[in-house]
Chains A and B, each alone.
Chain A
Amino acid sequence: MGLTSTEVRSESSNERRSRGSRQRRQRQQQRREAYLLLVPALIPVLIFSVYPLLNGIYLGFTDSRAGFNRTTHFTGFENYVRLLDNSRFWESFKIGLVWAFGVTAIQFLLALGLALLLNQRLRMRWLVRTLALVPWAMPSVIVAIMWRLVYHPDAGLLNDVLTRMHLINENINWLADFSFALPAVIAVGVWAGMPQTTVTLLAGLQGVPGELHEAGAVDGATAWQRFWHVTLPQLRPVIVAITSLDFVWNFNSFGLVYVLTEGGPGGKTMLPMLFAYNEGFKYGNFGYAAAMGNAMVVLIIGLMAFYLWSRMREAA
């Protein structure tokens, strides 16, 4: 120890300078290495993701349309003025919010319950744990097809079960019914997203130190009190993260509902993404569809900012 300090002190200023430049050279070389390793990923990302995204935001302020030989004009906020008057779009926005909030909230409650159960030493939990992962492995198209079989008006499981329980007298066409379609679709959304939410919450639960629970138990806290005052506060960051992600994923989701109902009946399940897809790729109004995308982003970022801000204030 003493030896090294004298060594350092005896180091001449010349040596120190050369070491400094060596460090700088080393840092430069490191930076070169890093860029070299990153370039293969960076180039496709710039061409096929960053540039299109920026261009897409810009297109929302133009009258771009599909087809050959069309000139695109910058139109400022014209698209948004038109959007304000488009009651069908706002209707779809509302449906998107009901869907995203509904799926996220129900999914969170169910997944939390399931994660708490899976965290206990129960028999058969391996079976449920495995089953809970299955939706994740399935293509959304097949999840939708599967639930169409369940909801099928004549040959479906649901109508049969409800009839046998004498809850309904005649078969219901769930996905074509004006009042049942949206709840039916939300149930599918909940089912499909269970794995990610459950797995994340379970990982969070397993990170809660056991000593905290034991200390609570020694102090005579009931299971409910321990859950409310120990587990939940410890889980808070995980909960905030997964519910935010779920909300964004759900609000932007497409495939599931597209195959289930294509937005029907009468637009009752027309999520904003479906609406924008139709506008862009069915009618070829690229600029207008991009404007809808922009409106969706603004809403999502606003809601997220509010949510994260209020959670943060609560935690402080």
Chain B
Amino acid sequence: MNTRTRPVIRLLQYAALAGFLVFLAFPLVWMVSTAFKPPQEIVSLHPTLIPNHPTLSNFTMALEESSLVRAGMNSLLVAISTALLTVLISLPASYALVRYRTWLRKVSLGWILVSQIFPQILIVIPLFMIMKQLQLLNSLVGLVLVYLVWALPFTLWMLQGYVRAIPPELEQAAAVDGAGKVRTLVSVVLPLLAPGLVATSMFTFVISWNEFFLALVFLQNPDLNTLPLALARFIGAEGAVRLGPLAAGSLLATLPGLVFFAILQRRLTSGLMSGSVKG
């Protein structure tokens, strides 16, 4: 882009880049290092960045912790259900919002904005009462319902970008060829949307897997803990002393998010915010 950069400036740029590298990476490296350290190394007066005697015992201890494993299963169940349901519901909706001119288009945009501005406490208190009446407090089904509505703004926003990227001419061509509306949607639009559906499901899976506040409010039964809840309670209870298993458990809990985001990386860096324009 710029034709020539002076060596001094280049040097400064690399120094700044190294600074960012340190800031971004060190906390991560530290957690990984703690996860592989035996207990006596963790509390040693001069801890090393790379464990002297790396061990997997923290991981086995974290996996033997039945509360963490159960929480992992709960999280998996909730995140998969939320991702599938949310995408299923927002697929027709985002298609309609892009292709049909209705007043709901503006309203939905307004609702997406409002859902970001209003603090969750305002929604959560009445929602708590509703769920109580429906006997859906302390239930994973209830949590999935809450997540469904909470994740919708994101999925609608993302999917609309993918719908917009499909040229309407393709659908018109199918209609000219005599295909009905349903047929056109299923055999023309759906296949083209498949990558977008996969990406959106992954994104929804990750944000539900990571969610904490709503789970804290709606789940009080420890048997139903999701992973973030279990880890937060673990650090409050015994994690403060058992740093190794805590770090190992946290590392494991981060993996699904990391894997999915690695797959999504190109789409995320091309700008999720501008995604609705660029697709």
Contacts and interface: CB of A to CB of B under 8 A. Distances in A.
A232 interface: no
B47 A157 contact: yes
B209 A139 contact: yes
B273 A242 contact: yes
A137 interface: yes
B89 to A, nearest CB: 5
Contacts of B265: 130, 133
Given A137-B257, A286-B125, A297-B117, A160 B268 contact: no
Contact of A297 (B122, B125, B254): B122
B158 interface: no
B100 A34 contact: yes
B25 interface: yes
A128 B20 contact: yes
A149 B126 contact: no
A283 to B, nearest CB: 13
Residue from B5, B49, B123 having most chain A Cβ neighbours under 10 A: B123
B270 A203 contact: yes
Given A44-B89, A53-B122, A259-B235, A146 B28 contact: yes
B130 interface: yes
Interface residues of A, number: 107
Contacts of A242: 273
Contacts of A52: 123-127, 130
Interface in B136-157: 145-146, 148-150, 152, 156
B97 A38 contact: yes
B256 to A, nearest CB: 9
A117 B16 contact: yes
Interface in A117-147: 117, 119-125, 127-142, 144-147
A33 B243 contact: no
A37 B216 CA distance: 33
A37 B185 CA distance: 11
Interface in B16-31: 16-17, 20-21, 23-28, 30-31
Given A44-B89, A146-B31, A245-B116, A117 B17 contact: yes
A42 B206 CA distance: 24
B13 interface: yes
Contact of B231 (A45, A124, A141, A297): A141
Given A49-B123, A140-B212, A217-B2, 14 more contacts: A30-B100, A34-B100, A44-B149, A48-B149, A52-B124, A56-B126, A120-B13, A137-B261, A145-B231, A149-B31, A155-B47, A199-B271, A204-B271, A281-B217
